[in-house]
Structure 1
């Protein structure tokens, strides 16, 4: 599809973040399985639930525009997922706390991609006068940012200290 205007870009980016969330959901489950700290495992599984909610919201919005949610493949998240698996799961890290610190790092990189994507989508929806969609996407943005803050707290108030 040729992108001729902001609405086209909006739909394209909705599909891109849907793809990103689809990829991130799977690897986040894998990171939760690899984590040793119970609070980290719980936070990662909460992240999975949040990602699932985001995907549902995105699919609903995309379909309301007569488009297919799977119309785009996010190569940016593909790279981040590959890095998350390589460094957070497959890397030979002998200390469980150090692995947990690496898992947080990898999760936050994916979360920051999501924050950027959702932030752009909120701005596009507002500019296009899609107020209800902007509110829904804002909730997704806030949930993603909350997950990121949770990971920072886990890192700063326990996991990083234990890994040191």
Structure 2
């Protein structure tokens, strides 16, 4: 599809973010299973639920615009997922706390990619006058920020980083 205007970019990026979420959902589930800190594991399960909800909302927006949400494959998230698996799951760790710290690192990298995607989509929807879309996407953006902050709290205040040190 040719990118002729901001609406074309918006629709393309909706599909791209759907793909990113789908890929990160699988990785988040794996990271949650590998986490040994109970609070971290629970947060990753909640993160997976949030990703799934975001996917449902993106799919609904895509359907409203007459496009298939699976029309793109996000290479950026593909790389981040590959890195998450390599560094947090396949890497050999002598200490579970160090693995948990790495799990947080890798999850937050994927999360930050989603934050960028949602942020751009909110801006595009606002510019295009798609107020309903913007509200849905802003909610997803806010939930993603909440998940990112929760991971930072678990790392810093929850003791994962201290235990890994």
Same fold, TM-score > 0.5, yes or no: yes
Report how many residues are paired.
Answer: 164
Aligned mates of 2:147, 2:37 — CA distance in 1: 16
Q: Secondary structure, in 3 states, of the residue corresponding to 1:70?
A: coil
Tell me what 1:81 maps to: 81
Asked if 1:160 is matched to 2:154, the reply is no
> Aligned partners of 1:25, 1:155: CA distance in 2, in Å?
21
Match of 1:120 in 2: 120
Following superposition, the deviation at residue 100 of structure 1 comes to 0.1
- Partner in structure 2 of residue 7 of structure 1: 7
**3-state SS, counterpart of residue 129 of structure 2:** coil
In structure 1, how many angstroms separate the alpha carbons of the residues matched to 2:87 and 2:78? 14
- Rounded to whole Å, the distance in 2 between the matches of 1:60 and 1:112 is 23
What SS does the corresponding residue of 1:67 show, helix, strand or coil? coil
For 1:34 and 1:121, the matched residues in 2 are separated by 32
1:15-164 counterparts in 2 under 5 A? 15-157=15-157, 158-164=159-165
Q: In structure 2, what is the Cα distance between the partners aligned to 1:62 and 1:124?
A: 14
Deviation at 1:30, TM superposition (A): 0.1
TM-score norm. by structure 1 comes to: 0.99
For structure 1, which runs of at least 5 residues remain unmatched after alignment?
A: none
Moved over 4 A (4+): none
Structure 1 vs Structure 2 CA RMSD: 0.4
Distance in 2 between the 1:33 and 1:46 partners? 13
Gaps of 5+ in 2: none
